[in-house]
């Protein structure tokens, strides 16, 4: 943070922060709101295994791909205006998703939801940098931001479970409407317009390049992880990397690029961005396994599973303040590294989970890894935001959030595909010859449950037992991958981020940058 304390924020700034947390909560909820609903979606729309993954993944892919684009657009048209536009798109897409009648339609509408979410998110963290000039207050605001984001991911399944007890699966999207209406009403009165004077023409071709690069790479990784090496996934990854290289080359030319490459090159910013990406990779990638384990393996109702999924928040409640307190006394890099290593221990615990394990065993492992991850992420967010100059807050927030969303999307794609591949292989070996609808049974645990309902009791029990064992085996293999990634993140944090103060560059900012109107209009 800066050496000189800035003016302290008052009631207006804290109220504005509270209003801005609403879109952040909803956008992060939509990453996970389908976890408990996916069995119902599978029964209604009958998606293939690949379509099921795309239904889960598409929102995060598009969201991550467009955050930088929307951050640049917000600098040109005003961040408050972009929040309002995003609320309209997000609300309309929520209605369309609720009434989708095919897997293809739901995938397409999830992409539109990602567009609306990308318009909403960049302003939330950027405005913290603009609203809170005092370092201690800004640290508290960043802690709130991180808490709301992680709470949204955890709250999504809970809201989904509560709604599915009484309504059909489309209700998990309609819950967004009242919040979007409230946002449209309150933001014009409570949130002042804050925009930087980013001159020059909006780089449409650069926006297309960035999105194309992201989607090509993630699609290739997802297909590669599921099916092994094949020419098409390899070509997609290669094309995506080429598009990404072209995009970075373009960003070196304009006076007002979408990405501040100099800022990313700073150890105090680029390092925390990478650390956050790895944390979200493990958080979101394993969350889908945990919720399906409670519902499909242990046989809990959506509501019961949703409520039990809140128990790991106890680890967050303990570790987040502990990490913040330790960071006041020792190098925050060591605290971040310790958080990642604690998370790695939690994931290793989960590798011992079995289909007949007691519930407490799963809850303990989830609490350990969640607590370690949130402790590390909170410090990484604070370090990155403090390292960004006020005039670059919008670009910095977009890059930081893009890394988080990309990490979550990659976690779903890579860990989800690894688990699915293990499940399919195990089920191919376990199924009796001549089983009807064997392809559906081999693809997903939900498909196995649906087919088992049409089989004789003895055969159904054998199929479900094999499917639950196969799913839990896939969960364990994915947990090994998450543990390895977390151990690497811990070593990286300790070795690369030591001694960083998180201070923004001392160069004075332009009076045109980060200007705020005297009153909301």
CA 135/CA 137 separation, integer angstroms:
6
Give every CB contact of residue 304 below 8 A, 6+ residues apart in sequence. 161, 294
H/E segment holding residue 195: strand 194-195
| Closest C-alpha among 390, 380, 389, 409 to residue 118 | 409
| Closest C-alpha among 211, 236, 212, 210 to residue 222 | 236
pLDDT at 346: 95
Say if CB 414 and CB 72 are below 8 A apart. Answer: no
CA 384/CA 271 separation, integer angstroms:
8
- Give the pair of three-digit tokens for residue 353: 């989970």
112-146 exposure pattern, b = at least 16 Cβ within 10 A, e = fewer: bbbbbbbbbbbbbbbbbbbbbbbbebbbbbbbbbb
Bridge partners of 194?
516
Say if CB 465 and CB 458 are below 8 A apart. Answer: no
470-488 exposure pattern, b = at least 16 Cβ within 10 A, e = fewer: bbbbbbbbbbebbbebbbe
Bridge partners of 195?
515
pLDDT, averaged per 10 consecutive residues of the chain (521 residues), comes to: 58 81 80 75 80 80 80 75 88 90 90 88 74 73 76 74 81 85 81 60 76 78 66 87 87 70 80 90 86 84 77 77 77 89 95 92 92 87 76 70 76 82 82 68 74 75 84 92 94 85 44 38 36
Bridge partners of 516?
194
pLDDT at 420: 83
pLDDT at 514: 38
Residue 61 dihedral angles phi and psi, to the nearest 5°: -60, -50
Say if CB 223 and CB 232 are below 8 A apart. Answer: yes
Angle ∠(405,442,165) on CA atoms, nearest 5: 60
Residue with tokens 């809990």: 300
Say if CB 411 and CB 286 are below 8 A apart. Answer: yes
Residue 146 dihedral angles phi and psi, to the nearest 5°: -65, -40
Give every CB contact of residue 390 below 8 A, 6+ residues apart in sequence. 129, 130, 504, 509, 513, 514
| Closest C-alpha among 70, 36, 40, 49 to residue 405 | 70
CA 404/CA 402 separation, integer angstroms:
5
pLDDT at 210: 79
3-state SS class at 497: coil
pLDDT at 390: 63
pLDDT at 225: 58
CA 297/CA 279 separation, integer angstroms:
26
Say if CB 254 and CB 270 are below 8 A apart. Answer: no
Q: Cβ–Cβ contacts within 10 Å for residue 9, how many?
A: 19
CA 72/CA 395 separation, integer angstroms:
7
């Amino acid at each position: 943070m800066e050496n000189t304390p800035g003016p302290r924020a008052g009631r207006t700034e804290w109220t504005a922060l509270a209003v801005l947390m609403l879109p952040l909560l909803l956008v992060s909820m939509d990453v996970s709101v389908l976890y408990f609903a996916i069995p119902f979606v599978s029964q209604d729309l009958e998606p293939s295994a690949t379509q099921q993954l795309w239904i889960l993944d598409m929102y995060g892919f598009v969201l991550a791909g467009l955050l930088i684009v929307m951050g640049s657009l917000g600098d040109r048209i005003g961040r408050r205006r972009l929040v309002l536009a995003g609320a309209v798109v997000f609300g309309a897409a929520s209605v369309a998703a609720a009434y989708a009648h095919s897997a293809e339609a739901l995938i397409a509408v999830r992409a539109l939801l990602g567009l609306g979410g990308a318009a909403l998110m960049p302003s939330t963290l950027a405005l913290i940098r603009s609203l809170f000039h005092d370092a201690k207050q800004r640290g508290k605001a960043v802690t709130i931001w991180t808490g709301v984001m992680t709470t949204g991911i955890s709250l999504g399944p809970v809201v989904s479970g509560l709604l599915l007890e009484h309504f059909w699966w489309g209700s998990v999207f309609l819950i967004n409407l009242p919040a979007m209406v409230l946002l449209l009403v309150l933001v014009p009165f409570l949130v002042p317009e804050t925009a930087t004077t980013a001159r020059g023409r909006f780089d449409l071709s650069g926006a297309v390049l960035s999105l194309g690069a992201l989607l090509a790479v993630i699609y290739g990784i997802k297909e590669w992880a599921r099916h092994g090496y094949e020419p098409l996934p390899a070509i997609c990854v290669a094309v995506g990397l080429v598009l990404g290289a072209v995009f970075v080359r373009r960003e070196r030319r304009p006076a007002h690029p979408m990405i501040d490459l100099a800022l990313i090159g700073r150890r105090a910013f680029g390092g925390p961005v990478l650390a956050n990406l790895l944390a979200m990779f493990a958080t979101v990638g394993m969350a889908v396994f945990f919720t399906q384990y409670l519902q499909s393996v242990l046989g809990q109702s959506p509501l019961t599973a949703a409520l039990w999924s809140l128990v790991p928040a106890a680890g967050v409640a303990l570790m987040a303040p502990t990490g913040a307190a330790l960071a006041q006394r020792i190098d925050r890099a060591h605290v971040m590294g310790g958080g990642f290593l604690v998370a790695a221990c939690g994931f290793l615990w989960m590798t011992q989970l079995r289909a007949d394990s007691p519930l407490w065993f799963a809850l303990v492992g989830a609490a350990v890894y969640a607590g370690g991850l949130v402790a590390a992420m909170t410090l990484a967010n604070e370090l990155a935001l403090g390292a960004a100059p006020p005039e670059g807050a919008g670009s910095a927030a977009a890059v930081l959030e893009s890394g988080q969303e990309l990490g979550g999307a990659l976690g779903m794609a890579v860990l989800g595909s690894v688990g699915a591949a293990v499940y399919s292989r195990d089920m191919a070996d376990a199924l009796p010859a001549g089983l009807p609808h064997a392809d559906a049974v081999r693809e997903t645990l939900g498909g196995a449950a649906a087919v088992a309902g049409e089989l004789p009791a003895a055969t159904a029990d054998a199929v479900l037992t094999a499917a639950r064992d196969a799913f839990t085996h896939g969960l364990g293999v994915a947990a090994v991958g998450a543990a390895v990634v977390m151990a690497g993140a811990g070593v990286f944090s300790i070795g690369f981020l030591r001694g960083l103060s998180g201070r923004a560059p001392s160069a004075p900012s332009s009076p045109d940058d980060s200007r705020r109107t005297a009153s909301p209009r």
